[in-house]
Structure 1
Amino acid sequence: MRILVLGAGGYLGGHVTERLRALPGARVLVGGRSPGADVAVDLAADRPRLLAGALAKAAPDAVVNCAGATGGDAVTLAEVNARGPAALCAALRAAAPGARLVHLGSAAEYGAGTPGLRVAESEPCAPAGPYGATKLAGTVAVASSGLDAVVLRVGNPVGAGAPATGLPGRVAALLAEVADPGDPEGELRLGDLSAYRDFVDVRDVARAVELAATAPGPLPPVLNVGGGEALPVRELVRRLADAAGFRGRIAETGGDGNGSGGGGGSERSARVSWQCSDISAAAAALGWAPAHALDASVAALWEARSRSFVPDGVAAP
């Protein structure tokens, strides 16, 4: 089986590629703009005809699109998150119409949820900002493409390699810079951490992608991939602080409910105080359920971060 992964150099894409490369009988090709890519493609810039030519040469049985932008202005977000999937679908229809397409969407497409309730795939979407809106546009392009395609709407992924553009990675970066984490007089200043989020281990996301790429027969157009429960953001921060051995005070200084008021959160999550996904459809269609508890996700994140952190003035090995 030939599987083409787009966006393999990103956070989710890296974990997905690693998982797929362990799949018996699979040949994983990496597509992107880097010189080392197996297939040279740029979803945000290439014309569909050029993309189709590259896809025809790759002859994939499945394509996994992990490419996406989580930050930047509205134009950048639209080019990558909306235009990219639409161009990919047009190219696949021309070059590999029988390939299975697995596209990574986002729970941000739903917008603000109702406290206490899980949102199912059939619920209307009302994204709260450009990120969610452009991800929703990408989902619509894929779901209406006529291809053998499925969108995995991912919750808030946590795990090794989490980037500093999101809350888990940003907090891990701040904790890594604390001179004496065991000092009870220490302080970590963040924004308001009262929002609730549906956290999912990045390894569980990668497993869902594997199942979606290899499942026989058609799949539902959209499947939620989350933890299935909402936890306060401050709970994630507290557990991450515990993993780091931080014994000081976590100060909430206001902000948007996602930690960004003190430099710890994600602007794209503003105005959304509750997110929780109903993951029963993924269980029915893929036999998938999250296997990693949040403590395991946090431990993996901190272990990877502490290995990679080099204090100022210390030479890297």
Structure 2
Amino acid sequence: MRVVLFGGTGWLGRQVLAELNAGPEVTEVVPVPRAAAELGTAGVGDLAGLLASLSPDAVVNCAGAVAGDALTMIGVNARGPATLCAALAAAAPHARLVHLGSAGEYGAVARDVPVTESAPTCPQGLYGASKLAGSLAVAQSALDAVVLRVFNVIGPGAPATSLPGRLVHELRTADPAGVIRTGTLAAVRDFVDARDIARAVALAVTTRCPDGALPRVLNIAGGRAVPVRALVEGLVEAAGFDGRIEEAAELDSARSSGVPWQQADVSAADRALGWRPELTLAQSLKDMWAEG
């Protein structure tokens, strides 16, 4: 099986690349360089020509933008997947498409009720709205396609654009008795390790359903509601930091403001792929701190 991978140079993309290369069913993985920029601006014809030359059995799209101006976010997160769907339909219509969506597509949900894939989507900002547009382009296409709606990602190598990644960096460089400032920590989130996500992608690429296609959308998450404060305290403990964590509302993430609570129901992914998260939050935090 030949798999074409868009976004393979990013944090999640590198994990997916390693997981696909480790699997016995995938004979070749072809990473497309600088995929986020290309998908945001590429024409359908050029992309179709590239895909036709590669003859993929499956295509994985890990490309995405978590920050930037409106043109960047909409280009990469919304136009990019739509262009990819049109190009794939023209060049390799029988290839499976696995696209990474985001929990930001749901927006605010009912507290204490794990969100299922049938829940209404009501994104709170440009990031979630642009991701939702891209996911809809994939889910409503005529392709053999599945959207993996990924919740809050943690794990070794987390980028500084994420709270866990930034906190690890600051803990490594902070005065042991100093002050580290974060956004407010009152929110509750569902955290999932990047390595578990990569395993879900590999299963989505290779699973063949005897009774038809995969579900159009599958939640990929830890399946637990975890206070953000608990994640921060876990990293602080791992670092042996004796200083003070200071919360400041002005440092809140624009991507997650207005969403006080989220927890996913991951039973659909279990039924369709045989996937459930394997790495605990404690193990993820331990590995994040131990890295480097």
TM, length-normalised to structure 1: 0.88
* 2:227 is the counterpart of 1:232: yes
* Structure 2 partner of 1:197: 189
Distance 1:284 1:251, change over 3 A: same
SS in 2 for 1:204: helix
5 Å-filtered alignment, 1:62-81, equals: 62-81=58-77
* Structure 1 partner of 2:29: 28
5 Å-filtered alignment, 1:162-241, equals: 162-179=158-175, 181=176, 183=177, 186-217=178-209, 218-241=213-236
CA contact (8 A) 2:183 2:253 kept: no
* 2:275 is the counterpart of 1:279: no
**Bigger CA drift: 62-71 or 17-26?**
17-26
* 2:5 is the counterpart of 1:10: no
**How far does the alpha carbon of each residue in 1:17-60 deviate from its partner, in whole angstroms, 9 at most, with x for none?**
011111125211101338xxxxx981111100100000001111
* Structure 1 partner of 2:242: 247
| 1:303 shift after superposition | 2.0
| Alpha-carbon distance in structure 1 between the residues aligned to 2:145 and 2:105 | 18
CA contact (8 A) 1:41 1:51 kept: no
| Alpha-carbon distance in structure 1 between the residues aligned to 2:159 and 2:208 | 34
| Alpha-carbon distance in structure 1 between the residues aligned to 2:37 and 2:30 | 12
SS in 2 for 1:160: coil
**How far does the alpha carbon of each residue in 1:59-93 deviate from its partner, in whole angstroms, 9 at most, with x for none?**
11110000000001122100000000000000000
Structure 2 gap segments, 5+ residues each: none
SS in 1 for 2:39: coil
CA contact (8 A) 1:85 1:142 kept: yes
Q: Percent identity?
A: 55
Match 1:300 to one of 283, 287, 292:
287
| Alpha-carbon distance in structure 1 between the residues aligned to 2:34 and 2:224 | 37
**How far does the alpha carbon of each residue in 1:191-246 deviate from its partner, in whole angstroms, 9 at most, with x for none?**
21000000001110000000000001310000000011111111000001111121
**How far does the alpha carbon of each residue in 1:253-298 deviate from its partner, in whole angstroms, 9 at most, with x for none?**
3x1xxxxx3x4x5321111111111111001101100000001111
* 2:126 is the counterpart of 1:130: yes
SS in 2 for 1:43: helix
TM, length-normalised to structure 2: 0.95
* Structure 2 partner of 1:311: none
Distance 1:25 1:215, change over 3 A: closer
| Alpha-carbon distance in structure 1 between the residues aligned to 2:43 and 2:246 | 49
SS in 2 for 1:288: coil
Structure 1 gap segments, 5+ residues each: 35-39, 256-260, 308-317
CA contact (8 A) 2:185 2:228 kept: yes
| Alpha-carbon distance in structure 2 between the residues aligned to 1:25 and 1:233 | 38
| 1:251 shift after superposition | 2.3
| Alpha-carbon distance in structure 2 between the residues aligned to 1:47 and 1:203 | 32
SS in 1 for 2:98: strand
CA RMSD, 1 decimal: 1.5
Number of equivalent positions: 288
5 Å-filtered alignment, 1:261-280, equals: 261=250, 263=251, 265-280=252-267
| Alpha-carbon distance in structure 2 between the residues aligned to 1:225 and 1:25 | 22
| Alpha-carbon distance in structure 2 between the residues aligned to 1:2 and 1:284 | 25
* 2:56 is the counterpart of 1:60: yes
Answer 1 or 2: which has greater helix percent.
Answer: 2
* 2:111 is the counterpart of 1:115: yes
| Alpha-carbon distance in structure 2 between the residues aligned to 1:247 and 1:287 | 42
